[in-house]
Amino acid sequence: MAAGAPMGEGSASNIYRGNSLKLMLPAWAMIGVFLLAPVAMMAIYSFLTKEFRGGVIWQFSTAAYDQFFFNRGLFGDEPPTIEWTYIGIFWRSIWQAGVATIACLLIGFPTAWFIATRDAKTRSVWLFLVTVPYWVNLLIRTVSMKFLIRDTGPLNEFLLWSGTISEPLGLINTNFAVQLGLFYSYLPFMVLPIYAAVERYDFALSEAAADLYAGVWTTLRLVILPEVKPGIVAGCILVFVPSLGAFLAPDLLGGAKTFMIGSLIEEQFKGAAGNWPFGAAASTILLTIVMAVLLVYARNQNRGA
């Protein structure tokens, strides 16, 4: 994306030549210790035998994946059929995260556009204002949202008082509340990358388009969007991926009535089930899905470039 000065070429690199491996060491150590090792451990655990009430026995087993994909009835003695329970939970999570991402895009794009088109001085104030709520812990923000939209909360009280509605809206403990929570939690992750892209956009292109008799929508579709696309894609990934694994919003705003991917995995480690390999398997499957989506995206990007 950012085509900066070509690093690793020219005179500066000569000083580092021969030391490059050593200099890479901290980066590799970081990636190895904090990224690869945990993921590898997760993948290994998903193929181990579960120990009752948490923990694993070091013995190879595919039971966790079997449980994920095949249904053998409550007592485990029926012929296997496809298990829709967990696929359904994954699908619901993907749907919720998708709705939140689209909502973030619909609100985030105009917001970013608005900020990027202010003059340089006020821009930083607007950006500052976008980030202010995010100095507060996510849990606190989610609980605050709950206070706001609950049946006895300020929103309903105001609407009732003003006569707009005659009964509370009943927002709390619904899918809508979860989507609202996710949307609110991750909005800045959409605004900031799009802002960065729009800020680099050359507005002379819009003028050129107008000179060529392109209407507002045509300009947006054919000129602006292709230019700021990297920002939009980055924003969508940054909102979608954490929304997919979220469990605070479903628990606090959705009433924890249905498992989302995050709470399903949490239950395997913290609940009575204590099925670590299954939790690890569900995490591995989730990671695979996210990786696949990102790889497809990366390939399309390369082809486009």
Partner 1 sequence: MKKLLLTTSLALLALTGAAQAEGKLSIYHWFEYIPQELLDKFAKEYDVEVTMDTYDSNEALLAALKAGKLGSYDVAVPGDYMVKILNNEGMLDTFEPSDLSNFGSIQDQWVDVSFDPGRKSSIPYQWGSTSFSVNRDVYKGPIDSLSVIFDPPEELKGKINVLDTAGETLTLASLYLGIPQCTSDRDQLKALNKLVIDAKKDWASFGSDVAKDVLVSGDAAAGMIWSGFSAKARSEGANIEYAFPKEGYIVWMDNVVLLKDAPNRENALKFMNFLLEPENAAAVTNYAQYTSGVKGVDPFLDPAVKNSPESNPPEGPKGVFVEACPQETQVLYDAIWTNLKK
Q: Which residues lie across from 82 on neighbouring strands?
A: 70
d(CA 253, CA 177): 6
Q: Give the SS3 label for residue 273.
A: coil
CB-CB contact of 188 with 131 (8 Å): yes
**Counting contacts by CB under 8 A, is residue 58 touching partner 1?**
no
Q: Which amino acid is at 146?
A: K
**Counting contacts by CB under 8 A, is residue 85 touching partner 1?**
yes
Nearest-approach distance from CB 202 to partner 1, in angstroms: 51
Query: Contacting partner 1 (CB under 8 A), which of 3, 15, 23, 74?
Result: 74
Q: Which residues lie across from 60 on neighbouring strands?
A: 48
CB-CB contact of 234 with 155 (8 Å): no
**Counting contacts by CB under 8 A, is residue 152 touching partner 1?**
yes
Return the range that interacts with partner 1 (CB under 8 A); candidates 38-46, 96-104, 113-121, 259-267: 259-267
Burial class (CB within 10 angstroms; exposed 0-12, middle 13-18, buried 19+) of 120: exposed
**Counting contacts by CB under 8 A, is residue 82 touching partner 1?**
no
Residue 288, CA distances (Å) to 22, 75, 285, 293, 294 in order: 32, 30, 5, 9, 10
**Counting contacts by CB under 8 A, is residue 45 touching partner 1?**
no
Nearer to partner 1, 43 or 143 (CB): 143
Nearer to partner 1, 15 or 272 (CB): 272
Query: Contacting partner 1 (CB under 8 A), which of 141, 176, 274, 293?
Result: 274
**Counting contacts by CB under 8 A, is residue 61 touching partner 1?**
no
Q: Which residues bind partner 1 (CB under 8 A)?
A: 52-55, 74-75, 85-86, 88-89, 150-152, 172-173, 251-252, 255-259, 264, 267, 269-275
